[in-house]
Amino acid sequence: MKHLFVASLMSSMAIAAFAAPATDVVGHYTFPNAIEGLPATLADFEGLQINSFMTNDAVRLNYWEAGSGEPIVFVPAWGASGAELINELWLLSKTNHVYVLDPRNQGTSERTQKGQRIARHVMDLNEFLDHIGVETTVLAGWSMGVSVIWGYVDLFGTDRMSKAVFVDEPVSIYTHADWSEQERLNAGGMTTSPERMIAAYQGAPTNQQIVDMKVVQRAQMLDSPYAQNAMGLAEHIAGDPSYAMLVLFDHAMNDWRDVIETKLDLPVAVFSGEESNNLPSQKWIAQTVPEGQLFNYASADDGDHFLMIKNPLKFVEDLRAFIED
C-alpha cells in the first residue's frame, strides 16, 4: 500500500560524493500538479543543489541547498528527505539560504548499518554545521528531526542556534507504564511496545491501545496538491526502506523532557494541529520552554503530522513571521 508515511521512508539513492545541480543527482522530474507560484518541473528550480560531505565514521551524507541570506537548516522526519520539503525549499529560498540534510539511510544519503542511533544522527548534524560553516542558524526539525535537534542541544548547546522550530514530535514516543494519563499526554506517548509499533509501520496488525496509528491514517490523506507534488518527487528517488527502519527503536525509546525543561534558552516555535494526537505534548513544550510559541493548525488547514508538506504556504508564512519577530 502506497501512502505518505511509508513513501516518506522510502526516499533513497546511493550515489558517489558530489556537489551538483539537483537534476544531475536525482534526474529530471515533472510535478503532477501545476500550482501557480511553484515550479512545474525540478529543472525550473534554478540554483537548487544537492551536495555532500563525509562524516567522521566515513558515511557520505547529502544535503539540499538553495537561496541566499540568513540560514535555515531543516532536519527532516524519519524516512524523509529534501524531496518532501521541496516546496519549503522553493518558498524560503526567495529570502533565506536554506538547507535540508538527508540523514543517513534517508533520501539521497548513503545506506549503512553504522550509527543507527539518535546520538549518531546528532553528531552528523554537528558535523554538517561544521561543514557548511554557519555561525548561527535557525534549526528546524520535523518529527524525528526534532529529536535530533533536542539531542544536539543536549550535547552541544544552543550557541549556533538563533531560533528553533519543532514540528509535531512527541517528547517521548514510548509510554512508561507508571505514568499518569497527564504525564502521557504531556510527553506524547504513542506506544507501549516499540517492537509492535515498528511492526505496525511495516503493515502488521495492531490496535490503538498498543500503537497510536492516527499518524499512519493521516499519512494516507493526500488530497493536498502540494503534498502530492512533494511525495511524487520522494517516490521518484525511492529505494529500499529497510535501512530507515534501523534507527526507529532507538528513536522511540528516548525521553527528552529534561532537555526541554532546562536547556532550550532561545525562542522556540512549535507546530502541530487539531488532527494530530501529539497536540497536547506540543502545547506542553510551548508552555515549558522560556520563549515558546504554539502554531495550532485547524483541521481545515491540514493540521496533522504532515502539515508542512500538506500546507506549505501557511507553514512558510508562519515560519517567516516567527523568524522575523
Model confidence at 231: pLDDT above 50: yes
Which tens digits make up the pLDDT trace of 297-309? Answer: 999 999 999 999 9
Over the chain, what is the mean pLDDT? 93
Q: Rounded to an integer, what is the distance from CA 136 to the centroid of its chain? A: 20
User: Residue 238 has what pLDDT?
Assistant: 81
Average pLDDT over residues 124-146: 98
Question: Strand 268-273 relative to strand 292-297: parallel, antiparallel, unpaired?
Answer: parallel
Q: How confident is the model at residue 14 (pLDDT cuts 50, 70, 90)?
A: very low
Q: How confident is the model at residue 13 (pLDDT cuts 50, 70, 90)?
A: very low
DSSP 15: -
Q: pTM of the entire structure?
A: 0.93
Q: What is 4-324's CATH superfamily?
A: Alpha/Beta hydrolase fold, catalytic domain (3.40.50.1820)
Residue type, 185: L
Average pLDDT over residues 186-198: 95
Which tens digits make up the pLDDT trace of 98-121? Answer: 999 999 999 999 999 999 999 999
User: Residue 241 has what pLDDT?
Assistant: 82
Q: How confident is the model at residue 9 (pLDDT cuts 50, 70, 90)?
A: very low
Give CA–CA dist 162/272, Å, rounded. Answer: 21
Q: Where are the beta strands (DSSP E) in the chain?
A: 19-21, 49-54, 60-66, 71-75, 97-101, 137-142, 161-167, 268-273, 292-297
Counting residues of the chain whose pLDDT is more than 90, the rounded percentage is 89
User: Residue 304 has what pLDDT?
Assistant: 97
User: Residue 7 has what pLDDT?
Assistant: 39
Model confidence at 17: pLDDT above 60: no
Give the residue extent of every domain in the chain: 4-324
What cell does 131 get?
Answer: 561543514
DSSP assignment string, 68-123: -SSEEEEE--TT--TTTTHHHHHHHTTTSEEEEE--TTSBTSPP-STT-SHHHHHH
Model confidence at 239: pLDDT above 80: no
Worst-scoring range by mean pLDDT, 40-54, 96-110, 137-151, 207-221? 207-221
CA-to-CA dists, residue 52 to 22, 65, 116, angstroms:
12, 10, 19
User: Residue 88 has what pLDDT?
Assistant: 98
User: Residue 18 has what pLDDT?
Assistant: 63
Model confidence at 256: pLDDT above 50: yes
